Amino acid sequence: MNDAVAERWSRVAEEWDEHWGRFAVPAWRAVVDATGVTAGSRVLDVGCGAGGFLEFVARRGGLPAGIDPAAGMVRVARAALPGIDVRVGPAEQLPWPDDAFDVVTAFNALQFSDDQPAALAEAARVAVPGGLIAVANWAETTLNELERIEDAVSRAAGEEPTPDGPLRLAGGLERLFADAGLRVVDSGLVAVPWAVPDDDRLVRGILFGEDDEVIRLRAATVIEAAQPYRTLGGGYSTMNAFRWVVARTPA
């Protein structure tokens, strides 16, 4: 992630945490169960954002640490989690020694790396021999109802929706791990719902980071695109999916 992108994420850190900081809980749970994280497990979360997963691990008695290239995200995480080691830096240069962690994770983060093989190599370096590396990210567009809303916003702005990257497709994460010489031991597809109680939360969540004028101009597009997901109570509920893969480092 280059400096300009990191700075953009820094500027929206608090707002992102409000709307999306706990979105990936089902993926967190799947990965923690698959890797056997328990009391005393040393866990590094690469691309930790505002620290939601670090808190999730700590509540299980694990010993989390995190790193993110966006200084604003790290600031939010540190404020929420005093005493937990959270650092600013890229996935390709992890500032920890060899064999420091039992499990290394990355949730919806590896695709932002400037050098994905290098990032995986660094994850393997800081993991103990025989340790586990887990990566999870959005599955393909067809499995995510939120994408229908995002695509409508893109087209209204005169932009074409971004095509799926290789890591979102079935087998993509597995191929990346295999190319890195890491043996996949588990994988899965997990449902990740996103629900909001009203129009305002819907619009603010979809358009987080935009200024008030952009939100005013695009709110109607968001609400119209979300009508298929409107609930009887006046809110909205979408179903989405993450793919996840766990690999073991050489013993």
Query: What residue ranges define each of the domains in the chain, with the CATH number in brackets?
Result: 3-140+163-191+242-248 (3.40.50.150)
Residue 3: pLDDT above 90?
no
Please report the pLDDT score of residue 124 as a whole number: 96
What is the per-residue pLDDT across 90-139, written as a single tens digit (0 to 9) for each?
A: 999 999 999 999 999 999 999 999 999 999 999 999 999 999 999 999 99
- Decide the pairing of beta strands 241-248 and 127-138: antiparallel
**Average pLDDT of the chain?**
95
Alpha-carbon 63 to chain mean position: 20
- Judge whether residue 167 has pLDDT over 90: yes
| pLDDT for 13 | 94
- Per-residue pLDDT, 251: 84
pLDDT digit string (tens) for 127-147?
A: 999 999 999 999 999 999 999
Q: Are 164 and 140 a contacting pair, CB within 8 Å?
A: yes
Running DSSP on this structure, what letter comes out for residue 230?
A: B
Q: Which of 6-10, 56-60, 122-126, 205-209 has the lowest mean pLDDT?
A: 6-10
Q: Which residue has the tokens 């994850």?
A: 123
Q: How far is residue 55 CA from its own chain's centroid?
A: 14
Widest pairwise Cα distance in the chain = 56
Q: Give the type of residue at 72.
A: G
Q: State how far the Cα of 139 lies from the Cα of 134, in Å rounded to an integer.
A: 15
pLDDT in tens, 227-237: 999 999 999 99
What helix, strand, coil percent values describe the chain, rounded to 5? 45, 25, 35
Report the alpha-carbon distance of residue 169 to residue 73 in Å, rounded: 28
The predicted model scores a pTM of 0.95
pLDDT for 190 equals 98
Least confident interval from 149-163, 184-198, 211-225: 149-163
- Could you tell me the pLDDT band of residue 52, with boundaries at 50, 70 and 90? very high
d(CA 35, CA 210): 37
